[in-house]
A = this chain, B = another copy of it.
Amino acid sequence: MKYNKFLILFFLFFIDLTGQEEKKIHSNIREIYDISLVDGKSYNWLEHLSNNIGGRLSGSLNAERAILWAKEELENLGLDSVWLQPVMVPKWVRGNFEYANIETSPGNTINVPICALGGSIATPLSGIRAEVVEVKNFDDLKLLGKEKVAGKIVFFNRPMQADLVSTFESYSNCVDQRYDGARIASKYGALAVIVRSMNLRLDDFPHTGVMSYGDIPNKRRIPAAAISTNGAELLSSMLSLNPNLKFFIKQNCKNFPDVLSYNVIGEIKGSIKSDEIMLVGGHLDSWDLGDGAHDDGAGIVQSMEVLRIFKKNKYKLKRTLRVVLFMNEENGKRGGIKYAENAIKNYENHVLALESDAGGFSPRGFSISSNSYKFDKILSWKNFFKPYQIHYFEKGGSGADIEFLKTEDNVLIGLRPDSQRYFDYHHASTDTFEAINKRELELGAAAMATLIYLADYFQL
């Protein structure tokens, strides 16, 4: 009887404590959202980064300006330390012209919007004029063989799949054309490659992105450019009418030797376990056509905002919270590689890393790379996220910059915003500040801060 009473009392106490705790957690999360939505800085930061700095390809003057700006802003937050981490990065420059047309019959031409792919060589100054062979994939190319490809321009025209709900999945299924197209087509004697833009909608904006020649010797490398989706549709239908039409392309992009650049890093020291690092980050470089507001200005300002929130609410995290603004995700990932090398060298313990690099859209949840125990622990927090409509918690990849930090025990996470609009802007001149919705951006920052808060609270 006595025993039972004790048990009941214990049970009541336990329930009460849990209820109190839960309430406190809910209220701390509510405060995080309030700071981001009512008094946030991410949107103003992004306005500056996008409009006053702009596109910031690795090795460019704008990339250097972005580094200095980010360092200063982090210093203004009163973090415990802010520093630059040197890293050598590739330098590729678009040049001052890129131009293409379809010669439908001698003398009759139609201009089509193209842009050089990142890393591509230039055409000869006088351009390249040649017949076109249209393919959907590398198997098509193999079937055609050298005989039908040599001396021609290869046109890769496999569209992103509209039926997939995740546009990133469509992207993955398509991007081999862009990345490997020139390398493979050159083996068949092609003169150049034109790749349909990685874009789900039909419009007039070519989307750039990185390509690679692999180990092909310099003299056998061929120019590579993206064509807008409307341009691709036009070219394809023209080819069906006249398979012998000529395509003309010229571009004067150029590769330079590597140059010195930096990752920008800041941190708030943990109050108890300062050797356990939780990292938030994105990449500071962007492509050069737009101003990189979604890719990845959003991730940059959201990550900075996470630290600002924990300064603002005066919440003492037990672990160290570090923000890393990686350089050169787009065409080399050198920042991520260098950061991980240094982390290993210095025996740093990254218990968690969270990257935002999927656009500043309404956050849906997180893609999580961890062991099952930790994954289940994160799943147990679902109810804390429910009022904020964060519902997506799935095993999967994290982020291109942080994946080099993978260990057996740690947790790597990617923020997953709604993906429907991302490829309308990705790597194109349309990726500008105007395409950002303030609230969507701020909700993403709050979701990130909430995850960090819970991971610290429950010692994930």
Contact = CB atoms under 8 A, between A and B. Distances in A.
A125 interface: no
- Max count, chain B CB within 10 A of own CB: residue among A163, A392, A424: A163
Assembly stoichiometry (copies): 2
A162 B37 contact: yes
B162 A201 contact: no
Contacts of A69: none
Contacts of A109: none
Interface string A359-403: 000101000000000000000000000011101100000000000
A51 interface: no
Contacts of A439: 162, 167, 200-201, 420-421
Nearest to A442: B162
- Max count, chain B CB within 10 A of own CB: residue among A37, A424, A439: A439
A400 to B, nearest CB: 23
A165 B443 contact: yes
B362 A418 contact: yes
Contact of A165 (B33, B201, B420): B33
Nearest to A39: B162
A180 interface: no
Interface in A333-364: 362, 364
Contacts of A38: 162-163
Contact of A201 (B167, B389, B438): B438
Contacts of A33: 163, 165
Interface residues of A, number: 26
A421 B200 CA distance: 21
A47 interface: no
Contacts of A437: 420-421, 424
A228 B163 CA distance: 40
A204 interface: no
Nearest to A421: B437
Nearest to A387: B165
Contacts of A165: 33, 387-389, 443
Contacts of A162: 37-38, 439
B392 A392 contact: no
Contact of A362 (B37, B200, B362): B362
Nearest to A437: B421
A275 interface: no
A440 interface: yes
A43 B418 CA distance: 19
Contacts of A37: 162-163
A437 B202 CA distance: 12
Contacts of A391: 389, 391-392
A98 interface: no
Contacts of A440: 420-421
A440 to B, nearest CB: 5
A233 interface: no
A165 B364 CA distance: 13
Interface in A158-208: 162-163, 165, 167, 200-201
A163 B38 CA distance: 6
Interface in A391-446: 391-392, 418, 420-421, 424, 437-440, 443
Contacts of A163: 33-34, 37-38
A163 B421 CA distance: 24
Contacts of A389: 165, 364, 391-392
Contacts of A362: 362, 418, 420
Interface in A198-241: 200-201
A203 to B, nearest CB: 11
A162 B43 CA distance: 14
Given A34-B163, A162-B439, 8 more contacts: A33-B165, A165-B387, A200-B439, A201-B439, A389-B391, A391-B391, A418-B418, A421-B440
11 contacts: A33-B163, A33-B165, A37-B162, A167-B439, A201-B438, A364-B389, A389-B391, A420-B437, A420-B439, A420-B443, A421-B437
Q: Considering the complex of A and B, which 7 residue pairs feature the smallest CB-CB distances, nearest first?
A: A391-B391, A420-B439, A362-B418, A37-B162, A420-B440, A38-B162, A37-B163
